[in-house]
Amino acid sequence: MNDSEIVARITALYPDAQVKVAGEGCNFEIQVLTSAFEGMKTLGRQRAILDLFKDELATGELHALGIKAKSPMEMERGAGPIQTGS
């Protein structure tokens, strides 16, 4: 799986999402900003993203997926920016 495939899968479910992906092979860090997360708890957000990749996680195609998920309202309240990994 590559960065483009990850972004495509997330934006298919969350069309307004801003997605940043860092990593390679089977280990990725994903940062997602979407209004769909408004009112959701952190665990619910992470589960929603993990569910998109459950088959790849089960087969080992993806080994680790770190997720930071925020809503635009959190960004406005100063919850910190979505940052690009280096």
Query: What pLDDT band is residue 79 in, cutting at 50, 70 and 90?
Result: low
The three-point CA angle 18-40-57 to 5° equals 65
Q: Are 29 and 66 in contact (CB under 8 A)?
A: yes
With a cut of 50, say whether residue 11 has pLDDT above it.
yes
Q: What are the residue boundaries of the structural domains of the chain, listed by start? A: 3-76
In this structure, the number of other CB atoms found within 10 A of the CB of residue 65 comes to 20
CATH architecture assignment, domain 3-76: 2-Layer Sandwich (3.30)
Query: What pLDDT band is residue 70 in, cutting at 50, 70 and 90?
Result: very high
SS3 68: strand
With a cut of 80, say whether residue 82 has pLDDT above it.
no
With a cut of 50, say whether residue 84 has pLDDT above it.
no
With a cut of 60, say whether residue 86 has pLDDT above it.
no
